């Protein structure tokens, strides 16, 4: 047999083995990715369930805090009230609010901290405004319905429009804006632009008790897509710890006291 024919056959066999090995490596990689994704999904489900149950258990520890109606009085932890898609607002209490210069409202207890934060931002050449503060349930319902309608106008089905809308707008009864503790902060559009404001807030808001409520990497835990404008008052101590650890409010509540 000619030498060049033998060499060609050997080269083909060697190439074939390489393809087989490469195929098995691809299959192994896909399998590993599938296992990791499944584990992550189970972790997030377990973590969210743990967040809900531990928060409720923390509320039940001190029976002396119960009112005559049997509901839990969490006045001491008003700044850490957890509201998300899994933890709706428990009761519609009257909220004492302060009106801002542009007609928006916030819980009066956070007003001094918000004002100080804005004063310091302006000292640094950043000019933020509160685009949205306290909302009634009716106002939240209107925003929610309009968002769904907008997605349906783009051709999405009822179910898909609802699912997409809930990534950006909380279902009425599950919005932090109804607590009066959350503010959507944007630029004034004259002296500052949005990116300048978001950058300053991300670096400094915790010094005044506010946290970036919906970080990009925490959507599975918060249930809300990244919103660089949405800030929530939790108090300076909690905000500082959340900022330093790079966690979200759900994680902070689960790990608090551990």
Whole-angstrom CA distances from 171 to 44, 183, 219, 243 are 21, 17, 16, 27
Q: Which of 84, 45, 44, 76 is nearest to 58 (CA)?
A: 76
- Catalytic site residue from 141, 227, 241, 251: 227
For residues 221 and 250, is the Cβ–Cβ distance under 8 A? yes
- In the numeric block, which tokens belong to residue 47? 């973590």
Tell me if residue 139 is catalytic.
no
- Between CA 44 and CA 246 the distance in angstroms is 17
Q: What is the CA radius of gyration of the chain?
A: 26
Question: What are phi and psi for residue 54, nearest 5 degrees?
Answer: -70, -35
The Cα 35–Cα 49 span in angstroms is 21
Active site residues: 227
């Amino acid at each position: 047999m000619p030498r060049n024919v033998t060499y060609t056959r050997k080269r083909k066999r060697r190439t074939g083995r390489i393809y087989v090995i490469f195929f098995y490596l691809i299959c192994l990689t896909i399998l590993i990715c599938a296992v990791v994704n499944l584990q992550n999904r189970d972790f997030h489900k377990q973590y969210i369930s743990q967040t809900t149950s531990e928060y409720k258990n923390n509320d039940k520890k001190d029976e002396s805090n119960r009112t005559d109606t049997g509901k839990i009085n969490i006045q001491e932890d008003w700044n850490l009230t957890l509201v998300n898609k899994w933890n709706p607002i428990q009761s519609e209490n009257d909220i004492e609010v302060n009106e801002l210069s542009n007609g928006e409202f916030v819980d009066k207890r956070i007003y001094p901290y918000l004002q100080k934060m804005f004063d310091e931002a302006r000292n640094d050449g950043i000019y933020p405004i509160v685009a949205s503060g306290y909302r009634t349930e009716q106002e939240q319902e209107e925003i929610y319905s309009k968002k769904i309608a907008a997605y349906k106008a783009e051709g999405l089905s009822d179910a898909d429009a609802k699912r997409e809308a809930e990534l950006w707008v909380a279902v009425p009864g599950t919005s932090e804006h109804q607590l009066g503790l959350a503010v959507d902060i944007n630029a004034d559009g004259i002296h500052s632009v949005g990116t300048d404001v978001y950058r300053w807030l991300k670096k400094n808001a915790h010094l005044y008790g506010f946290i970036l409520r919906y970080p990009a990497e925490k959507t599975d835990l918060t249930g809300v897509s990244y919103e660089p404008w949405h800030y929530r008052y939790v108090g300076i101590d909690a905000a500082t710890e959340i900022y330093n650890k790079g966690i979200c409010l759900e994680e902070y509540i689960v790990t608090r006291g551990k």
